[in-house]
Amino acid sequence: MLHWGSDLGPLGEAGLAGLAAHTALPPSPGNPDDPNHPGNWNIPPAVGLLAEHGAGWQGYPGLLGHRPGGTDWSPLLTVDSAELTVPADAPDPVELNDRAGATVTVHPAPAGAPRALRVVASDRVAALGLTIDLELTDSGLLRTRATVRNDHDEQPYTLDGLGLTLPVPTEATELFDLTGRWTHERSPQRQPFNVGSWVRETRRGRPGHDAPLLLALGTRDFGFRHGEIWALHLAWSGNHRLWADRLPTGQAVFGGGELPMPGEITLIPGADYTSPWLYASHSDHGFDGLSARFHDQLRARPHHPTKPRPVVLNTWEAVYFDHDLTKLKELADRGAEVGVERYVLDDGWFLGRRHDGAGLGDWYVDETVWPDGLHPLVDHVRGLGMEFGLWVEPEMINPNSRLAEAHPEWILATGGRLPGELRGQQVLDLTHPEAYAYVHERLDALLTEYDISYLKWDHNRELGDAGHSPDGAAAVRGQTLAVYRLLDQLRAAHPGLEIESCSGGGARVDLGILEHTDRVWGSDCIDALERQQINRWTMALLPPELVGSHVGSPRSHTTGRTHDLSFRAGTALFGHFGIEWDITRATDEERAELAGWVAQYKRLRGLLHGGRMVRADHQDPALWVHGVVARDQAEAVFALVAVGAPETSPHARVRLPGLDPDASYRLDVLPPGTESPGLWRGRPRWLTEEGAGGLRGSVLERVGLQIPAVHPEQAVLFHLTRE
Pick from 351, 317, 135, 170: nearest CA to 253? 170
**Maximum alpha-carbon separation in the chain:** 86
Question: Distance of alpha carbon 78 from its chain centroid, rounded?
Answer: 35
Cis upstream peptide for 650 (omega within 30°): yes
Reply yes or no on whether 458 is catalytic.
Answer: yes
Annotated catalytic residue, options 210, 458, 510, 518: 458
Rounded Cα–Cα distance for residues 717 and 570 (Å): 7
Q: Are strands 215-218 and 229-234 parallel, antiparallel or unpaired?
A: antiparallel
Rounded Cα–Cα distance for residues 179 and 182 (Å): 11
**Residue 411 CB neighbour total at 10 angstroms:** 21
Backbone angles phi, psi at 411, to 5 degrees: -100, 130
Which secondary structure element, helix H or strand E, spans residue 717, and what is its range? strand 714-722
Rounded Cα–Cα distance for residues 712 and 723 (Å): 33
DSSP letter at 181 equals E
Rounded Cα–Cα distance for residues 611 and 599 (Å): 19
Q: CA 655 → CA 115, 614, 639, 659, 719, distances in Å?
A: 38, 11, 12, 11, 14
Annotated catalytic residue, options 510, 524, 564, 660: 524
Q: Are 208 and 202 in contact (CB under 8 A)?
A: yes
Q: Concatenated DSSP letters for 684-706? A: -TT-BTTBEEEEEHHHHHHT-B-
Q: CA 586 → CA 331, 335, 501, distances in Å?
A: 11, 11, 29
Helices (H), ranges, 250-374: 286-299, 316-319, 325-338
H helices, E strands: number in the chain: 12, 35
Q: Are strands 342-345 and 387-392 parallel, antiparallel or unpaired?
A: parallel
Return the active site residues: 458, 524
